[in-house]
């Protein structure tokens, strides 16, 4: 490279001008063989079971006694969008656990006939830190052989893990449905939570 200083200057400028919609780094998520092997081990470990059990307990509380849910979680319950947000920044989980949980949720959704539309990561500058969002976006597999309305199942599903300076900050899971005459009514979100956990 003829002028390394110019290269680094342009890199810092791109970082400063970046945003979620205009990241300075945008890549597909491709897990290494070592990461995949570690994930397979993690699925059977106590930390995964505890995290799943905690989320299940929090969802039950949300449905029965919402004032008692943990401050580390919020639930979204709008007519066309339902989900949850886990504040990993308040829980002390490492990057490994939060990233594996992101992939675990994706795997659970794929197990019910969803296809992966995109898995990507976006990195941008936000205030004093570098923020990265790892995202899995999934849709129901289309069934063109069955006449009638489209089956939206639980709707389109977005799972995102937000990192701040490479530390887990927030994991969000949302299922967005359509209120449209082209689609069958969606299944209940309670059923999706039972499948996830």
By the 8 A CB rule, do 170 and 184 touch?
no
By the 8 A CB rule, do 168 and 93 touch?
yes
Task: Tell me the C-alpha distance between 162 and 60, whole Å.
Answer: 25
Token representation of residue 34: 């070592």
Mean pLDDT of 139-156: 81
Higher pLDDT, 150 or 104: 104
- Flag whether pLDDT at 188 surpasses 50: yes
Least confident of 17-31, 37-51, 122-136: 17-31
- What pLDDT is attached to residue 47? 94
- Flag whether pLDDT at 43 surpasses 80: yes
Nearest to 156 by CA among 102, 132, 192: 192
- Flag whether pLDDT at 2 surpasses 60: no
- Flag whether pLDDT at 100 surpasses 80: yes
Mean pLDDT of 115-142: 93
- Longest CA–CA span in the chain (Å) reads 65
Higher pLDDT, 147 or 25: 25
Coil vs helix vs strand at 78: coil
Nearest to 155 by CA among 172, 185, 180, 177: 177
- What pLDDT is attached to residue 62? 97
- Flag whether pLDDT at 7 surpasses 60: no
- What pLDDT is attached to residue 131? 95
By the 8 A CB rule, do 145 and 164 touch?
no
- Flag whether pLDDT at 139 surpasses 60: yes
Query: What's the mean per-residue pLDDT of the chain?
Result: 89
Buried b (16+ CB within 10 A) or exposed e, 35-48: eeeebeebeeeeeb
Mean pLDDT of 98-111: 97
Token representation of residue 76: 């979204």
- What pLDDT is attached to residue 12? 54
7: Cβ contacts below 8 Å, ≥ 6 apart: 1
Mean pLDDT of 57-85: 96
Q: Kindly indicate the confidence band of residue 73, based on its pLDDT and cuts at 50, 70 and 90.
A: very high
Q: Is the dihedral of CA 24, 27, 32, 37 positive or negative?
A: positive
Mean pLDDT of 153-179: 95
Q: Kindly indicate the confidence band of residue 8, based on its pLDDT and cuts at 50, 70 and 90.
A: very low
134: Cβ contacts below 8 Å, ≥ 6 apart: 29, 99, 102, 119, 120, 121, 160, 161, 163
By the 8 A CB rule, do 191 and 153 touch?
no
Coil vs helix vs strand at 182: coil
């Amino acid at each position: 490279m003829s002028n390394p200083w110019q290269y680094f200057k342009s890199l810092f400028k791109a970082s400063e001008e970046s945003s979620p919609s205009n990241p300075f780094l945008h890549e597909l998520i491709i897990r290494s063989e070592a990461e995949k092997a570690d994930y397979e081990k993690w699925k059977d470990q106590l930390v995964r079971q505890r995290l799943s059990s905690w989320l299940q307990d929090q969802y039950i509380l949300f449905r029965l006694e919402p004032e008692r849910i943990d401050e580390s979680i919020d639930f979204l319950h709008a007519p066309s969008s339902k989900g949850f947000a886990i504040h990993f920044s308040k829980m002390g989980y490492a990057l490994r656990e939060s990233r594996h949980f992101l992939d675990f949720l994706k795997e659970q959704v794929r197990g019910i006939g969803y296809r992966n539309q995109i898995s990507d990561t976006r990195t941008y500058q936000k205030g004093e830190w570098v923020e990265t969002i790892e995202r899995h976006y999934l849709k129901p597999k289309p069934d063109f052989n069955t006449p009638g309305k489209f089956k939206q199942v639980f709707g389109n599903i977005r799972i995102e893990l937000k990192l701040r300076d490479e530390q887990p900050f927030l994991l969000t899971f949302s299922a967005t449905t359509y209120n449209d005459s082209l689609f069958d009514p969606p299944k209940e979100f309670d059923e999706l939570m039972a499948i996830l956990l």
